[in-house]
Amino acid sequence: MKRLFILMFVLSACDKKESAVTFSAPVITTASVSASSLVEGAIPKKVERVKFDSAEIAVPPGKSNLHVQWAVPDGTAINDDAPFTVRWGSSDGLVAPPSDIKGHGKDVRGGFDVPIELMAGASGGQLAGDVDLVVCDVETHSICVPLKRRLELTFASGKGNAKGSVTLPLPRAKPQ
Domain spans, the chain: 47-169
The confidence score (pLDDT) of residue 48 equals: 66
**Regarding predicted confidence, which is higher, 162 or 139?**
139
Is residue 12 scored above 60 in pLDDT? no
| Burial (Cβ within 10 Å: 0-12, 13-18, ≥19) of residue 163 | exposed
Where helices occur in the chain by DSSP H, the ranges are 2-13
pLDDT category at 2 given cuts 50, 70, 90 is very low
Phi/psi at 63 (nearest 5 deg)?
-80, 140
d(CA 84, CA 82): 7
Topology adopted by domain 47-169: Immunoglobulin-like (2.60.40)
How many residues appear in the chain?
A: 176
Strand 124-137 versus strand 83-92 pairing type = antiparallel
Q: Whole-model pTM above 0.75?
A: no
Is residue 129 scored above 80 in pLDDT? yes
